[in-house]
Amino acid sequence: MGQSRKPAVDAEAHLGLVRLCANRFRSRGIEYEELYSAGCLGLVKAANAFEPERGVCFSTYAVPVILGEIRRLFRESGAVHIGRRMQELARAAANEAERLRQENGREPSVRQIAQALGVSEAETAEALCASQPVLSLTGSTEDGDAELDVPVPSPENRLQEHIALEQVLELLDARDRKLIELRYGENRTQSDTAALLGMTQVQVSRREKKILLFLRDRLNG
């Protein structure tokens, strides 16, 4: 009886890929824990099927598999899931909108409903949208049977670019990584960065240009 092949990579060591993928689908109707679980399943499948001898980076191979499992979750759910808090807020917003409509004889604004509920306008708008009927992406239109074509931005390209950038950043020494983190991760000025790294502003400016050229060359190569 043959033994099963041992995965070529340690799936647990790449859970960061799952978090990156799951975060791309936040606030789309499914709880993060469910997204993360589906992503973990995709990660395990990718680890079991990965063949390093093909010369492909594991993250490049794994990301589409992880995203595929997360998308499967949306397909199998049949409809968008709305959290309990949002359901309660949606009901309250609908009731308050009706009260204001009866009281003033006109359609209330989002601001009026938000003020009455004591929540932000953004939350109110989201709640009102959540209370609307679900639009089928494959339903028939009034004029015929054509499917409704609703464009949905795909996260693959941005996600893979983000992963590629993280991998290239690992090639920098600790001081250069810190410089880039301060400048672009924390949006600090060159003067602030210089003070934190014990450098002059001119030194930071020159070093930053060299680092960016290095990163650009690696990413484009």
Instruction: Judge whether 127 and 89 are in contact, CB under 8 Å.
Output: yes
Domains 84-130 and 171-220 are alike in CATH topology:
yes
pLDDT tens-digit profile of 3-40?
555 666 788 888 888 888 888 888 777 888 989 999 89
pLDDT in tens, 67-92: 888 888 877 765 455 567 777 888 88
Task: State both tokens at 144.
Answer: 């015929």
Q: Which pLDDT band holds residue 134 (cuts at 50, 70, 90)?
A: very low
Task: Give the chain's largest Cα–Cα span.
Answer: 78
* Nearest-angstrom CA–CA distance, 178 and 78: 45
For residue 27, how far is the Cα from the chain centroid? 9
Domain spanning 171-220, CATH architecture: Orthogonal Bundle (1.10)
Going by C-alpha positions, the residue among 52, 21, 49, 48 that lies closest to residue 37 is 21
Identify which has the larger pLDDT, 130 or 211: 211
Q: What is the CATH number of domain 11-77?
A: 1.20.120.1810
What is residue 145's predicted lDDT score, i.e. its pLDDT? 45
Q: Crossing angle for the helix pair 190-197 and 201-220, nearest 10 degrees? A: 100
Please give the Cα distance from 35 to 37 (Å, whole number). 6
Q: Where are the domains of the chain?
A: 11-77, 84-130, 171-220
CATH architecture of 84-130: Orthogonal Bundle (1.10)
Q: What is the pLDDT of residue 201?
A: 92
